[in-house]
């Protein structure tokens, strides 16, 4: 990917209107370098590489650097890419990065038992040398045969040289039963409501006032 150095006096909004996206390249023991890239090219690279693939970044006048896309920002109104952070890596030092999870296949428990698939994680944090960094982890949902079947972090097979940092017992995806539908209460008609009130009134009229029976007995004596 080719980028140019960005002059300090340029305004980001002006660059974006010109079809360019501002960014910064930084890393351990490296001074930050402000850069700018073609917005269309940057969008394609972001889509293809994500945050888990190494990129050879050719900085005009600075040479080539091996980087990861560490962060990116979008305009909340238009969805346009507005900024990129590139992290320069050393090929002989381990790095930490987030690797996305990709789900394939279908869980039999969904159709057989009318289950619901709940996903609690969509990426895992790993530590490894840059050359060993996986682009993604693929999980097969066909192993979810019945209700309460799940895939845990410890079930994910990492390549040699890659350590998954998430807790091994954390749930990634699980099949749960359908929630019971709420019982609908039938509406009460006006006639039924009136009848209920009258019945209550008759019951009250027919009851003795507390202590009334005892008082009458004493008078008779």
- Owner of token pair 């990917």: 1
- Residues in the chain predicted with pLDDT less than 50, given as ranges, are 181-185, 193, 197, 199-201, 203-204, 209, 213-221
Strand order in the sheet with 150-152: 116-119, 171-176, 150-152
Name the average pLDDT for the chain: 86
Domain 2-89: give its CATH code: 2.40.240.10
- What local confidence, expressed as pLDDT, does residue 126 receive? 98
CATH class of the domain comprising 97-176 = mainly beta
List the chain domain ranges: 2-89, 97-176
Q: Could you tell me the pTM of the whole model? A: 0.72
Instruction: Provide the token pair at 95.
Output: 């790095």
- What local confidence, expressed as pLDDT, does residue 218 receive? 46
Cβ burial of 19 (10 Å; 0-12, 13-18, 19+) is: exposed
- What local confidence, expressed as pLDDT, does residue 145 receive? 97
Contact predicate 175/147, CB 8 Å: yes
Tell me the pLDDT tens digit for each residue of 97-112. Answer: 999 999 999 999 999 9
Instruction: Provide the token pair at 42.
Output: 């940057």
Tell me the sheet residues that pair with 116: 176
């Amino acid at each position: 990917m080719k980028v140019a150095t960005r002059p300090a006096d340029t305004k980001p909004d002006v660059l974006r209107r010109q079809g360019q996206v501002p960014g910064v390249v930084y890393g351990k023991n490296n001074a930050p370098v402000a850069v700018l890239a073609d917005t269309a090219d940057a969008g394609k690279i972001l889509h293809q590489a994500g945050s888990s693939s190494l990129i050879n970044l050719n900085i005009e006048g600075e040479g080539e650097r091996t980087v990861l896309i560490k962060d990116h920002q979008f305009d909340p109104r238009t969805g346009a890419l507005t900024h990129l952070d590139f992290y320069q890596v050393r090929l002989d030092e381990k790095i930490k990065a987030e690797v996305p999870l990709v789900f394939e296949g279908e869980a039999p428990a969904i159709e057989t038992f009318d289950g619901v698939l709940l996903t609690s994680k969509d990426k895992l944090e790993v530590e490894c040398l840059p050359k060993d960094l996986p682009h993604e982890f693929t999980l097969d949902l066909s192993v979810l045969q019945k209700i309460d079947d799940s895939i845990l972090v410890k079930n994910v097979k990492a390549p040699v040289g890659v350590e998954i940092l998430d807790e091994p017992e954390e749930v990634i995806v699980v099949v749960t039963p359908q929630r019971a539908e709420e019982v609908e209460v039938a509406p009460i008609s006006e006639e039924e409501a009136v009848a209920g009130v009258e019945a209550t009134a008759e019951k009250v009229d027919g009851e003795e006032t507390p202590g009334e029976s005892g008082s009458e007995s004493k008078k008779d004596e």
